[in-house]
Amino acid sequence: MECLIVDGYNIINAWNDVFDVSGEPLEDCRNRLLAILSNYQGYKNIDIIVVFDAHQVKNGREKKETFDNLTVVYTKENETADNYIERFVRGMSNERTVRVATSDCLEQTIVLSGGGVRMPARELREEVEKVNLGAKTALLPNLTKTNTIMSHVNADILEKLEKIRRSDF
């Protein structure tokens, strides 16, 4: 199965029309990114790992948690998301396809040399939007139809029920 590893803060900063890091709490930005990627994962059915830098957290230990269907990693003290991603790509690229989403050009080059597949932040954004549009298009016909209990009842039975309702035996 394909794996997509996302440099979380890098994507948040790259999608500056989606996230307002100057006016919005960083935790809210993180949670919205995770929600966007969780929805995307649901349609793509791939493993997604989102990595957030915690390298400046004193005595910080690497922490992994689950958010819906995503794996979220907070790096340990003195380890950047880039370091974690590079290590992950080197360890996994022989076993499966690993795509890395980041807008950092140097990191994209390092990922390629480590056996991974680069995915610029812009390309991830386009793919997420395409998946969202496809989902809306698929759901739209069902949203415009009447969906009541009675809309699925056979016409003959509906007529009999209507007669009973009117007491027209």
Q: What is the mean pLDDT of each run of 10 residues along the chain (169 residues)?
A: 92 91 88 94 93 82 92 92 90 85 84 84 94 75 64 80 74
Question: CA-CA distance, 102 to 114, in Å (whole number)?
Answer: 15
**pLDDT for 141:** 63
Question: CA-CA distance, 147 to 149, in Å (whole number)?
Answer: 7
Residue that the structure tokens 């790992």 belong to:
49
Contact assessment for residue 85 and residue 111, using Cβ atoms and an 8 Å cutoff? yes
**pLDDT for 144:** 58
Burial 91-107 (b: 16+ CB within 10 A, else e): ebbeeeebbbbbbbeeb
**pLDDT for 29:** 92
Q: What CATH architecture is 3-144?
A: 3-Layer(aba) Sandwich (3.40)
Do strands 117-120 and 3-7 pair parallel, antiparallel, or not at all (unpaired)?
unpaired
**pLDDT for 48:** 97
Extents of the domains making up the chain? 3-144
**pLDDT for 101:** 94
CA 112 to chain centre: 23
Beta bridge partners of 52: 74
Question: Which residue pairs, CB below 8 angstroms and at least 24 apart, start in 78-85?
Answer: 79/55, 80/53, 80/55, 81/7, 81/8, 81/9, 81/10, 81/51, 81/52, 81/53, 82/7, 82/107, 82/110, 84/51, 85/5, 85/7, 85/51, 85/111
**pLDDT for 166:** 79
Give ∠ CA 152-158-161 in degrees, rounded to 5: 130
Question: CA-CA distance, 107 to 86, in Å (whole number)?
Answer: 8
**pLDDT for 162:** 79
